[in-house]
Amino acid sequence: MSVSPECGIDGPALREQEAEALVEGICFKTGPPRSVGVEVEWLVHRERAPHDLVGREELAAAHADLRTLPLRSGLSVEPGGQVELSSRPAPSLGACVSEVSADLAAVRTALRGHGLTLAGMGVDPRLPPRRFLREPRYDAMEACLDRTGPAGRTLMCTSASVQVCLDAGREEPGVMGFTRRWWLAHHLGAVLVAAFANSPMAEGRATGWLSTRQLKWTELDPGRAGAPSLAHDPRRAWVRRVLDAPVMCVRRDGPWEVPDGVSFREWTRSRTMRPPTRADLDYHISTLFPPVRPRGHLELRMIDAQPGDDGWIVPLAVVTALFDDPEAAAIANRAVSPLAERAAGAPAPHNPLWTAAARRGLADPGLRRAAVTCFAAALDALPRLGVSTGVLDTVAAYTERYVRRGRCPADDVLDREASAPL
């Protein structure tokens, strides 16, 4: 749940029409799909006692060591002390996997020196939310999100994900066009929630949802965590969503102001608040958390963090194959089309399709059928994308262990919990 640390407020006042034009101009940068990226978030646990809280001083020392590493990915720390690596845009899936794998190996080695380890889970199954970072932007975020209940603190402090970043696509119609890729992301997104659900517990108990992380997103204000309507042109729909979304905070010296129910559009018209700037608009966009966020490219944000050292590679590879290989993209579009009506016209994730995905995973027959078809298409496409045998084998093993059996990593967590001695 990173929010940009940029906090300068200098610059000319931004009028409503200027803000609309800026958002429309930058949200979808079209062209042939060429680049892929990934953002991998991890919980940080004690290596020998994963259920014990890591002290603040221990975390701070470990983070300080991580910042000295010569990483090619960007390193950031989340509010609860989670670690995130953000890859550079890579020219191929294989290049992205290689670069991030090397950086993760360096991070794991450094953490091991502190008795710590990376844990791939959508939500910490045991520990309660505890904020590690004490900064004005996170003070403001907490105050804002608290207005809709405790979900915000869980997402800030005890959640982690795999976020896949792909080019928006071509301007023209077709499966490689940005309009169709936008539509696919919001329907395939439910399949990805179900197939990669890995957060069935929180604070020591089963929640009844296989992706508790996704449940928590639905508990936030739809204006902040919901997608725009798919019934409209994607650019105009996103412009409206950005301008009509509530402002999380107004940056200033000292504690940041947290307005109540003021949209960015209303801010541009206000005579009592200081006028917003271009920097304020950029920051505002970074405080919106829809399941698919257009930032020039498409940022798919709905996938729980995955178990194991290489678990993150599977969603990255599957999503890239289904979007960037034309044959696989056509198959994926057909596979998810029967699911579209289950959304009942409501934007993700606040609709019945996404609710079923988060609660039941691949136990849902429709989601399972779509997942089996999509993973098979991805496996066929990956050799055409030039991936290594190791990546292909990793995806094949996941498909056999989970997708074809109608399971997801959350089912393993619940099985282990059920068999644990009392």
pLDDT, tens digit, 9 for 90 and up, residues 154-194: 999 999 999 999 999 999 999 999 999 999 999 999 999 99
- Which amino acid would we find at residue 213? R
**Could you tell me which residues are beta bridge partners of residue 312?**
none
CA 214 to chain centre: 10
Q: Are 210 and 410 in contact (CB under 8 A)?
A: yes
d(CA 264, CA 19): 9
SS3 track for the chain: CCCCCCCCCCCCCCCHHHHHHHHHHHCECCCCCCCEEEEEEEEEEECCCCCCCCCHHHHHHHHHHHCCCCCCCEEEECCCCCEEEECCCECCHHHHHHHHHHHHHHHHHHHHCCCEEEECCCECCCCCCCCCCCCHHHHHHHHHHHHHCCHHHHHHHCECEEEEEECCCECCCCCCEHHHHHHHHHHHHHHHHHHCCCECEECCEECCCCEHHHHHHHCCCHHHHCCCCCCCCHHHHHHHHHHHCECCCECCCCCCECCCCCEHHHHHHCCCCCCCCHHHHHHHHHCCCCCEEEEEEEEEEEEECCCCCCCCHHHHHHHHHHHHCHHHHHHHHHHHHHHHHHHCCCCCCCCHHHHHHHHHHHHCHHHHHHHHHHHHHHHHHHHHHCCCHHHHHHHHHHHHHCHHHCCCHHHHHHHHHHHCCC
pLDDT, tens digit, 9 for 90 and up, residues 376-400: 999 999 999 999 999 999 999 999 9
Q: Are 399 and 349 in contact (CB under 8 A)?
A: no
- At 109 the pLDDT is 98
Backbone angles phi, psi at 268, to 5 degrees: -65, -20
End-to-end CA distance of the chain: 35
- At 1 the pLDDT is 65
Strands 83-86 and 74-77: antiparallel
- At 11 the pLDDT is 81
Q: Is 262 left (phi over 0), alpha (psi -120 to 50) or beta?
A: beta
d(CA 73, CA 87): 4
Burial class (CB in 10 A: 0-12, 13-18, 19+), 145: buried
* CB within 8 Å of 31: residues ≥ 6 apart: 167, 170, 171
The pair of three-digit structure tokens given for residue 264, joined into one six-digit string: 């960015």
Instruction: Give the relative orientation of helices 93-112 and 56-66 as an angle to the nearest 10 degrees.
Output: 130
Mean pLDDT, the chain, as a whole number? 96
CA 102 to chain centre: 22
CA distances from 159 to 44, 119, 306 (A): 11, 11, 12
Instruction: Give the relative orientation of helices 365-381 and 178-195 as an angle to the nearest 10 degrees.
Output: 110
Q: Is 174 left (phi over 0), alpha (psi -120 to 50) or beta?
A: left
d(CA 309, CA 327): 30
Strands 205-206 and 116-119: unpaired
Q: Are 386 and 172 in contact (CB under 8 A)?
A: no
* 422 residues of the chain, pLDDT tens digit each: 655 444 445 689 999 999 999 999 999 999 999 999 999 999 999 999 999 999 999 999 999 999 999 999 999 999 999 999 999 999 999 999 999 999 999 999 999 999 999 999 999 999 999 999 999 999 999 999 999 999 999 999 999 999 999 999 999 999 999 999 999 999 999 999 999 999 999 999 999 999 999 999 999 999 999 999 998 899 999 999 999 999 999 998 889 999 999 999 999 999 999 999 999 999 999 999 999 999 999 999 999 999 999 999 999 999 999 999 999 999 999 999 999 999 999 999 999 999 999 999 999 999 999 999 999 999 999 999 999 999 999 999 999 999 999 999 999 999 999 988 76
**0.75 exceeded by pTM:** yes
